[in-house]
Amino acid sequence: MSSAKGFLWSFVFFLTAAIYSSIPTYLIVSYWQWLNSFTMDGRPVYTIPLFTLFLWIISLVVTLIYIVAMIRAIVQRKNEDLGIPKGVKGFGLVSSIIVIVFMVLWYILFNEIAFFSMIPP
């Protein structure tokens, strides 16, 4: 059973890594030009694009954490304790469930894929 538990956790971690890498990357690429077009008194405001870039880098760091946790869950699948902190497991599972439920509900209500159907104004 512990071998299957390691593969199940690695699948959850893979989903979490995919969510935290693909959605922010898509949004930063599609909105980057729009974010850089903000002006105040004719001068560009760079605070918003820099803050968005900071959040994107944080999401990539979270993605790396979950890629390492995914590999660790597979490598240590024969141990009773996978060696993965409960906070990493809990956050990965809960955040993946929330995002997936949100995307399914968005598709049911609006017949569009959440996040990926967004376009800049």
Is the confidence at residue 80, as pLDDT, over 80? no
Q: For 54-75, what is each residue's pLDDT tens digit?
A: 999 999 999 999 999 999 888 8
With respect to residue 106, please indicate whether it lies within any of the assigned structural domains.
Answer: yes
pLDDT at 50: 94
Cα distance between residue 69 and residue 72, in whole Å: 5
pTM of the predicted model as reported, rounded to 2 decimal places:
0.84
With respect to residue 67, please indicate whether it lies within any of the assigned structural domains.
Answer: yes
With respect to residue 14, please indicate whether it lies within any of the assigned structural domains.
Answer: yes
pLDDT at 2: 59
The residue written with tokens 């390492």 in the block is: 68
With respect to residue 118, please indicate whether it lies within any of the assigned structural domains.
Answer: no
Helix 47-75 × helix 86-110 angle, to 10°:
120
pLDDT at 120: 83
Q: For 83-120, what is each residue's pLDDT tens digit?
A: 778 888 899 999 999 999 999 999 999 999 999 888 88
With respect to residue 32, please indicate whether it lies within any of the assigned structural domains.
Answer: yes
Residues linked to residue 40 through DSSP beta bridges, in sequence order = 43
With respect to residue 62, please indicate whether it lies within any of the assigned structural domains.
Answer: yes
The residue written with tokens 């599609």 in the block is: 30
Closest CA to 19 of 84, 106, 95, 112: 95
